[in-house]
Amino acid sequence: MGQNVAQKIISEHLVSGEMTYGTEVGLHIDQTLTQDATGTMVMLELEAMGLDRIATDVSVQYVDHNLLQTDEKNPEDHLFLQSAAQRYGLWFSKPGNGVSHPVHQARFGRPGATMLGSDSHTCAAGAIGMLAIGVGGLEVAMAMAGDPLYVSMPEIWGVELTGELPDWVSAKDVILEMLRRHGVNGGVGRIIEYHGPGLKNLSAMDRHVIANMGAELGATTSIFPADEEVRRYMASNGREDEFREILADDDAGYDVTDSIDLSSLEPLIAKPSSPANVVPVREVAGEEVFQIVVGSSANPGLRDFAIVAEILAGRQTSDRVSADVNPTSREIFEDMAKGGWLFDLISAGARIHQSGCMGCIGMGQAPATGRNSLRTVPRNFPGRSGTDEDSVWLCSPETAAAAALTGKITDPRNLDMDYPQLALPEKASVNTAMLLPPLPVDEARQVELVKGSNIESLPQFDPLPDSLELPVLLKVGDNISTDEILPAGARVLPYRSNIPKISEFVYTQVDDTYATRAAENQGGHTIVGGGNYGQGSSREHAVIAPRYLGLRIVVAKSFARIHWQNLANFGVLALEFDDPADYDKIQSGDTLKFEDLRTRLPDTDEVSAQLGDSSITLRHRLSPRQAEMVVKGGRVAMAAEKQGEPGKVADSMS
């Protein structure tokens, strides 16, 4: 049998293991992507390792999340990131150059390459035939140092696309249909590969929209073939010479299959507060709207802004709607101006913000409490917008524009106008002035890291004890996100390089007493969770900060992939109920006793927890390598020990 696209790229980069579902494989990594909300920790980890120069073909540090300069913390961290990029040999994308994912795809993306990013939406680059995977920052740091990525071999989920999207329906509705069908964990343990005749009508940036939100399905990544449309896209960005055709073989098969007739789709919308809470727009039409936000990595293409501008052209937004527009890159901003779309947006009453993540990550543009905000962003987890009691809906640019005009959720097919026919430029603007190239090696070695007062050393964590008696400080339900574990937004993200300070915000949206109680409990503690624990962002702060507060073990029904890996990386043991019904037996305030952890973990996947007079059977999914890592206190500690210098990590950062 022939190979599909994912199998071809995996086989080319396989350095250990076999391509058998569920077994651990090691993959060589060509490129990495870091952004400022997570990259600060990555750079501190590189320093802790004593790295001299990165080993990847291309690594880029972007500044796109923390752009507000309300005090000195963000700009000082930007200086640190720029100095670290110079020291270790990375490209540096300055603040204002744009969101990492569309910029990287346009300027560095290459069909057939592997990429890791310390951002869960790194998978967007699958739009051009890359195997791009979002992971925690430490995984990225290790890849930059030359280590493979170790990952459980996923299933390949083939989704055949047929037909053509109708007017007023766009790529966002395709991925919302996937979420409507399969939920936020339907892609767990899978790579989603889109194929079929419907692809010919989807541009590379349409594919970016779909691949980006594969993260919301819990997928390892999403991928499209590198076909003639990808060639056209790369040519439009002046990079056709880097194109490589990668198509599935005619006789290729898939482990799991699904299909979507694009012509049958209608405008869809995800209700608060989950990306999977999807319904047709017509079912919720009439709900009042007080804000729309257009932009983010989930709808980053010129088309996504141009269609909104064409719908609003010559009209005025509703007097009760704030229409916020975040151009996703400097280059797209230029094309919006050249095409007249920027003028149309401003004339219609839109508020134009700087090129960056902005409202998507809760960095400004927070909505009023309980007032409906329609956004083209990828996530609507509770409080992610920056407002605790928010009401965020996810939709296409067409649906957002319709709401901007009417002040209500409106099926865009009901607007009194024809669907705009866009004439996009064949050549995209190319402006790389804000992309700073790596320094030559000799110059790089002379660079001193610039550390502001907000940057603290990476904490050093002790090994896992053989026996633990841990109070359950918190019990939570299903689909707890990393935004709920450790919020983002303008209040929290400026402390991303200060673990003691950022730990004060752990679980404040769920239980604002947790951080205080954890800090007071010196003997360590455990958290009990439901299914899909830790979904969402790749931010490893959601592990490091609770671990700093004494978290040793998380017991859950199941874990989201990236968070599960991050727990292991920092020495927190992730255990799953052998019988999910046992979840109901444990309450907050109970005590769980664990014995023989260090001796049992490497040899068996079964762990017993004593709850009063009864015993609960738990299991872990750690490979022998990961089990050793947890026992030793995490990946950094294990690396330092193997070098024979257990104190190296702390010493190198003091």
pLDDT of 209-234, one tens digit each?
A: 999 999 999 999 999 999 999 999 99
pLDDT in tens, 531-584: 999 999 888 999 999 999 999 999 999 999 999 999 999 999 999 999 999 999
Cα–Cα distance between 121 and 132 in angstroms, integer? 9
What's the confidence (pLDDT) of residue 640?
A: 67
Strand 551-556 versus strand 573-577 pairing type: parallel
Q: What is the pLDDT of residue 491?
A: 84
Helix (H, G, I), strand (E, B) or coil at 113: coil
Judged by DSSP in three states, 116 sits in: strand
Using a pLDDT cut of 70, give the percent of the chain over it.
98
**Closest to 2 in 3D by CA, of 254, 256, 250, 257:** 250
Q: Edge-to-edge, what's the strand order for the sheet holding 149-152?
A: 14-16, 24-27, 149-152
* pTM score: 0.90
Q: CA dist 315 to 64, 304, 613, Å?
A: 31, 18, 70
Average pLDDT of span 344-361: 93
Domains and their CATH numbers in the chain: 5-16+25-264 (3.30.499.10), 268-414 (3.30.499.10), 468-653 (3.20.19.10)
Which residue's entry shows tokens 């039409």?
285
pLDDT digits (tens, 9 = 90+) for 471-497: 999 999 999 999 999 988 878 888 888
pLDDT at 448 over 70: yes
Q: Average pLDDT for residues 623-652, to the nearest whole number?
A: 71
CA distance 221 to 61: 21
Mean pLDDT of 15-34: 96
For residue 431, pLDDT beyond 60 = yes
Which amino acid appears at position 642 of this protein? K
- Residues 6 or more apart whose Cβ sits within 8 Å of residue 222: 123, 126, 191, 192, 193, 194, 210, 211, 214
User: Which structure tokens are listed for 433?
Assistant: 């002035």
List of residues 6+ apart from 520 with CB closer than 8 A: none
Pick from 60-69, 86-95, 198-207, 405-414: least confident: 60-69
End-to-end CA separation in angstroms for the chain: 55
Tell the burial category of 448 from Cβ atoms under 10 Å away from its Cβ (0-12, 13-18, 19+): exposed
- Residue 134's pLDDT is what? 96
Handedness of CA 258, 307, 397, 188 (dihedral sign): positive
Asked if 422 and 344 count as a contact pair (C-beta separation under 8 A), the reply is no
Dig out the tokens for 64 from the structure: 């796109």
Residue whose token pair is 């430029």: 425
- Residue 177 to residues 183, 217, 268, 275, 499, Cα–Cα distance (Å): 10, 11, 7, 11, 39
